[in-house]
Amino acid sequence: MDQPLYMPIPAVIEKIEVETPEIKTFRLRPEKPVPFRAGQFVELFLPGFGEAPFTPSSSPKITDTMEITIMRAGRVTAALHEMAEGDELGVRGPMGRAYPIEEFKGKDILIVGGGCGVGPLRSLLLDLVDERDQYEKVTVRYGAKTHESIVFRDAQARGWDVGGNGEGPLDVVLTVDQEHPDWDGHVGVITTILTPEYLAEPPDDGIAVMCGPPIMMKFGTDVLLERGYRPQNIYLSMERNMSCGIGQCGHCRLGKYYICKDGPVFTYEEVRGNPRLWDD
Amino acid sequence: MHWTLRDGCGLDDVLIQLAKGRDVFAPIEGENGNFILSKSDGWRSGINTLAPYRQTEPLKALFFPAREYIGRWKDVSLRSPMPKRIVFGVKNCDLSSLGIFDHVFLHGVAEDPYYAEARRNTVLVSSDCSSHRDVCFCPAVGEQPWPEAGFDINIAETPDGVLLEDGSSQGAMLLESAGDLLKPAEDTLVERVKNQREKHYQALAEDCSARGLKPGSKLQEAIEGAFGDGMWARYAEHCVECGACNFVCCTCHCFLLADGMDENGEAARTKLWDACLYDGFARTAGGGTPRPYRAERLRNRFDKKFSYFPQVMGRFACDGCGRCTEACIANIDIRDVLKDAMEAAAVA
């Protein structure tokens, strides 16, 4: 970015998609393209109000716009949710370390998503599907609290929703925590669809990419290790309060890393042993 | 290169010459043995002093101000250039602290242009500590009460004469500009300074040892090993999270990138000093925080200074200046905290 340090580029909200009662996807068109790689984040700036970090959920191959899926959770996100198509905000970025997608080539990849954490995973998936023949099996296991809070129903529209019988480009299974008469799919927390019944044993170099609330990543990591994934092949996306986004303000420190510059993507190998790892 | 005063020339004359054309920041004596940094147009004989030890304000305040206006969103021109400055009487603890700031603001993902400009425009004239405050403990963190590096010019006063040393090409040039007031120093003066330094180090190291913190103490192992100990909860009972330690600390660098409207109603950004002891420091959307307890925040600050920085930079982010001890409303002495950590972790 050749903007003066700390100053965002203006961007217009081109489209707002309501995904669930709490989650909207904003498609932004920045004044200049902000090319990012899956896993990196941007800081969205509400002029005079505040700023917060988000990971785009759109394909990295599309550079003139970016889609960001945002749950209303606090002050800045509540203000964002009040905005309308045509409104202007600012973007700083991209920042951070992306998923090392070149290292995934030729391997089996498992994508495990929880709730709104599917944002960066969708961006990665779109990249993988785009060059599908460069990867072996691509498996998706996604869990949400209720059937209404499942994000990105475009899985069905894109022909991804297969159910694990080997057809189509991906093997997708969804689950929700809570039963509901309108839902006839699997019910149970995400770890219930990572069992041998739902997931084959990984090869030695099997890659797992997981993103979701800390509690979900904590239990998910335990299960993945049990199932045979190696710590250096389990990719997590960590979060802490951020301010500058470039490793100077001290807010996002996690052990010996700053999440904004050394992450947000980390392998479990890199962050294990930190007693504060899963603090919320 | 080592210089001393020509016969008949005074140190004040040299300092007045060095300061020409620059804004001056130099110590003046305050109350109760405190020295404060004062801004003026030139070196003022009889008012300014090089001071026997560090002044109250951390040097970081000149390079990383407590409140720094960055600019308006839609008007991205940089603010007006900083005038040339010179700081006198800088002590080693503060000089060493700039190493932390250079690492954070110059050698990371991006260079902070405001900090870089401040560094470029500022000449640092340091001096040996001729005595120390009762809170000083720099030998315990691997430092010493005189500068070895990082200065443009260092001044060591002895009963036998004043030794001036250049530490950079800029310092060398400046000393040459005072060339008619200076002459090369004899080896005997250099030796005298060396002996004086060793004596002072011994005295200060003894004070540290008397508090349980001899030089070379394994402080990183201590802080890491004391992670689960009850000492943090004990200190938290007294700590009021005022943040004073964060603010006066010469190496604390955390800030908040703050948003607001300026007087014209335009969106503007400001950098503000922030304090990791505050419970909102690490707050996430919706009110969560990874460190809800004050004991955790206290421990986290020590973890950053004595575990994070050794892992990332090979040094502590603490220079033993003792300002935190003086500032603490609850009378928490950092030397006690470190000593307790060593006991809890069973290291020496």
Same-domain check for residues B129 and B155: yes
**Is the confidence at residue A166, as pLDDT, over 70?**
no
β-pairing, B67-72 with B267-273?
A: antiparallel
Whether B185 is covered by a domain: the verdict is: yes
d(CA B12, CA B45): 6
Mean pLDDT of chain B: 96
Give A9-95's CATH code, choosing from 2.170.270.10, 2.40.50.140, 2.40.30.10, 3.30.420.40: 2.40.30.10
**How far apart, in whole angstroms, are the C-alpha atoms of residue A221 and residue A229?**
9
- The number of C-beta contacts closer than 8 angstroms across A and B is 113
Nearest CA in chain A to B312: A256
HSE-up of residue B326 (Cα within 13 Å, Cβ side)? 21
Task: Using alpha carbons, list the distances in angstroms from residue A171 to A140, A148, A160, A228, A231.
Answer: 6, 22, 7, 19, 23
Of all residues in chain B, the percent with pLDDT exceeding 70 is 99
- Does residue B223 share a domain with residue B179? no
Domain ranges of chain A: 9-95, 101-237
Q: pLDDT tens digits for B63-73?
A: 999 999 888 98
B281–A contact, CB cutoff 8 A: yes
- The model's confidence at residue B158, banded by pLDDT at 50, 70 and 90, is very high
B208: three-class secondary structure by DSSP: helix
Question: How do residues B180-219 score in pLDDT, each as one tens digit?
Answer: 999 999 999 999 999 999 999 999 999 999 999 999 999 9
> Residue A280: its pLDDT value, please?
73
Most A CBs within 10 Å: which of B109, B266, B272, B311, as the mutation test of the A interface?
B109
Q: Which helix (H) or strand (E) holds A157?
A: helix A154-157
Interchain proximity A6–B255, CB inside 8 Å: no
Inform me whether the C-beta atom of residue B36 falls under 8 Å from chain A C-beta atoms. Answer: no
Task: Please answer yes or no on whether B311 and A256 come within 8 Å at the CB atom.
Answer: yes
Confidence check: pLDDT of A160 > 90: no
pLDDT tens for A22-64 read 899 999 999 999 999 999 999 999 999 999 999 999 999 999 9
Tell me the shortest Cα–Cα distance from A238 to chain B, in angstroms. 12
CATH placement of domain A101-237: 3.40.50.80
How does pLDDT run across B52-98, given as a tens digit for each residue? 999 999 999 999 999 998 889 888 665 778 999 999 999 999 999 99
Residue B264 included in any domain: no
In a domain, B262, yes or no: no
Using a CB-CB cut-off of 8 Å, the residues of chain A touching B268 are 48
The domain boundary, picked from B182, B210, B238, lies at B210
Mean pLDDT value of segment B31-42: 96
Query: What is B230-269 written as a DSSP string?
Result: THHHHHHTT-----HHHHH-SS---EEEEEEE-TTS-EEE
Locate B40 and state its tokens.
């003026």
* Residue A165: predicted pLDDT: 54
In sequence order, what E strands does chain B have? 2-5, 23-29, 35-40, 67-72, 85-90, 122-127, 153-158, 161-166, 182-184, 255-261, 267-273
Asked if residue A134 has pLDDT above 70, the reply is yes
pLDDT at position A1, please?
41
Residues B38 and B135 in one domain: yes
Residue B304: which domain range? 219-254+275-345
| Residues B194 and B223 placed together within one structural domain of the fold | no
Q: Which residues 284-303 of B have a C-beta within 8 angstroms of A? A: 284-291
Residues B246 and B191 in one domain: no
Q: What is the ipTM of this complex?
A: 0.91
| Number of domains chain B is built from | 2
Task: Round the average pLDDT of chain A to a whole number and report it.
Answer: 91
Predicted pLDDT of residue A162: 53
Lowest mean pLDDT among A32-36, A43-47, B261-265, B268-272: B261-265
| B62 falls within a domain | no
Write the pLDDT tens digit of every residue in B218-230.
999 999 999 999 9
Query: What is the structure's pLDDT at A145?
Result: 87
Min Cα separation A67/chain B (Å): 20
Give the pLDDT confidence score for residue B343 in this predicted structure: 97
**Is pLDDT of B274 > 90?**
yes
Q: Does residue B66 lie in a domain region?
A: no
B256 contacts A243? CB cut-off 8 A: yes
Asked whether residue A276 carries a pLDDT value surpassing 90, the answer given is no
Least confident of A148-157, B14-23, B239-248, B257-266: A148-157
- A127 DSSP β-pair partners: none
How does residue A159 score in pLDDT terms, banded at 50, 70 and 90? low
pLDDT at A2 over 60: no
> Residue B93 in contact with residue B133, Cβ under 8 Å?
no
Say if B268 falls within a structural domain.
no
For residue A155, name the pLDDT band (cuts at 50, 70, 90).
low
B223 and B199 housed in the same domain = no
**B-contacting residues of A 73-112, CB under 8 Å?**
73-77, 90, 95
User: In this complex, do B257 and A243 lie within 8 Å of one another by their Cβ atoms?
Assistant: yes
